Amino acid sequence: MKRINTHLVITILLMLFVSASWTSSCIGMLHKVKKGETLSGIAKKYDVPMKRIIQNNSIASIDHLQIGEKLLIPLSTKPTNASEGPNGTWYEVKDRDTLYSIARKHNIEDWKKLQQINGISNPKRIKPGQTIFIPGDGDIGFALPIRTKLYVTSRYGYRNHPITGRYRLHEGIDFRAATGTQVHASKTGTVTFAAKKGGYGKAVSIQHEDDFSTVYGHLSRIYVSKGDFVKQGQVIGLTGSSGHSTGPHLHFEIRYKGKSENPARHLDLR
């Protein structure tokens, strides 16, 4: 009987805690984490977006829930499209996506982490429209540097240079853009270069965390200076056709430890 009483007291205390910490019209319940449970599994069980559970609980690590840890489960609707949260992002699976490609796009080194966090038993069976939780602090991954309709005029890879005719690596991706189109920082970082640079014309380089950097070439205007801290999405300049260029476009590079990578692996070009 004593044990039951203790349980009763704890339950009442928890209910008080829930009602006290609960805001406005939300209705929720408590879930005690059992061995082998994942956050995504719990979210699925209650049909609640994982993001909502994370928002309503101070979870130390979403990879490893503590057995016995009590989670406040808010009762709510499913997540709409991909949206940002304080501890990560929701991503909606598109055609031809794989966990590997999604991980690459969000700079997550090990795609198995996504599998584990989302409780996916068979990684080959992810479906378009399915939402996947991407852990991070909101500013993860690279955002598109231009926000006008995308038109890729030259992809990353070996090509004959349109001006010199020489066969060499095109180290970035070219987006057609009318002169004066705003150029946004693809990721938060520090400006390491903001001036004219040979074939690049007026160019900006930004150093990001984790040894990644981005380069923006052929600009008509530069709005930042070396040493500036820029936030993801911040306008850093305007497109143009400066340097070796056959027409107004943005040349955009993503580099890892100085070596160029295919930006298409990091950007959502569809």
Assess 253 for contact with Zn ion (CB under 5 A). Answer: no
The residue of the chain with the least Cβ separation from Zn ion equals 251
Q: Which stretch binds Zn ion (CB under 5 A): 4-12, 49-57, 188-196, 248-256?
A: 248-256
What is the spatial distance between Cα 20 and Cα 185, in angstroms, rounded to a whole number? 42
Assess 251 for contact with Zn ion (CB under 5 A). Answer: yes
Nearest distance in Å: CB 200, Zn ion: 9
Q: Which of 35, 167 has the CB closer to Zn ion? A: 167
Q: Which of 189, 263 has the CB closer to Zn ion? A: 263
Q: Which of 112, 155 has the CB closer to Zn ion? A: 155
Number of residues that bind Zn ion (CB under 5 A): 3
Q: Which of 133, 200 has the CB closer to Zn ion? A: 200
**Within positions 76 to 135, which residues make up the interface with Zn ion, using CB under 5 A?**
none
Residue by residue, DSSP assigns the chain as: -HHHHHHHHHHHHHHHHHHHH--TT--EEEEEPPTT--HHHHHHHHT--HHHHHHHS--S-SSSPPTT-EEEEE--PPP-SS-EETTEEEEE--TT--HHHHHHHTT-S-HHHHHHHTT-S-GGG--TT-EEEEESSS--S---S--S---EEE-SEEEE-TTT--EEEE-SEEEE--TT-EEE-SSSEEEEEEEE-GGG-EEEEEE-GGGEEEEEEEEEEE---TT-EE-TT-EEEEEB--SS-SSSEEEEEEEETTEEE-GGGTS---
Q: Which of 28, 217 has the CB closer to Zn ion? A: 217
Nearest distance in Å: CB 248, Zn ion: 12
**25 alpha carbon, distance to own chain's centre:** 31
Nearest distance in Å: CB 159, Zn ion: 9
Nearest distance in Å: CB 251, Zn ion: 3
Nearest distance in Å: CB 154, Zn ion: 6
**Within positions 131 to 190, which residues make up the interface with Zn ion, using CB under 5 A?**
172, 174
Nearest distance in Å: CB 106, Zn ion: 24
Nearest distance in Å: CB 240, Zn ion: 13
Q: Which of 131, 214 has the CB closer to Zn ion? A: 214
CA-based R_g, the chain, Å? 23
Q: Which of 221, 244 has the CB closer to Zn ion? A: 244
Residues making contact with Zn ion (CB under 5 A):
172, 174, 251
